[in-house]
Structure formats: C-alpha cells, structure tokens
Amino acid sequence: MMKQLGMEMEELAAKEVIIKLEDREIVIENPSVSVVKAMGQKTYQIVGEEREVLAIPEEDVKLVAEQAGVSLEKAREALEKTKGDLAEAIVLLTQEG
C-alpha cells in the first residue's frame, strides 16, 4: 500500500544516533532507525535507549585542570559531575586533595 502512495520504507543498521544540541547531546543507544521516503523527502524515525550528555567546552576543561592542578581527565569528570559548573568543579577537586 505504501508503494501505491509513492512511499518507500527502509531500515538502517545504525549502532548509535547522536543529536547535537547547543548545550548537550542526546545519544540514542541500540537504535531502530527507519527511513520513510515520500514526495522527495526523507523522514527518519528513531526508537531506542536515550541518554543525555552535557557538552563541556574544552576551554572549560583546561581552565578547571589548571586552577585545580589536576589532569584534563579529572577536570572533565568533575565538570560532568557538577553539570558544567566551573567554580563547583574547582572546589570539588581542591577539596579532594
């Protein structure tokens, strides 16, 4: 019936779908992705397990690492834990010793 309406549907073998927003990313894990083609347009339908990831600028990571005297990795972890709050991340790291 879809073909009669000029529509085609295709399943994609996707491993992960990332939607990048200004302040965060939405990651869809184990997705089921369908593409519907109709009237020269493509529509994507995505179903899966969602998790959000905060987008932390590299400059923020470097600043926190420098101020707290820790590695970039530790600085990034602290920023993720504090949801990007620079001051809170620095305080957290300096209190840990």
pTM greater than 0.75 (yes/no): no
State the pLDDT at residue 19: 94
Fold of 7-54: Ubiquitin Ligase Nedd4; Chain: W; (2.20.70)
**Cα gap 75→94, rounded to integer Å:** 11
Query: What would the mean pLDDT of 82-97 be, rounded to a whole number?
Result: 90
Architecture per CATH, 58-96: Orthogonal Bundle (1.10)
DSSP codes joined into one string, 3-56: TTTTEEEEEE--SEEEEE-SSEEEEEEEEEEEEEEETTEEEEEEEEEEEEEE--
Radius of gyration of the chain (CA): 21
- Residue 27: pLDDT above 90? yes
Query: What would the mean pLDDT of 59-66 be, rounded to a whole number?
Result: 95
- Residue 2: pLDDT above 80? no
Relative to beta strand 16-20, strand 41-54 is unpaired
58-96: same fold as 7-54?
A: no
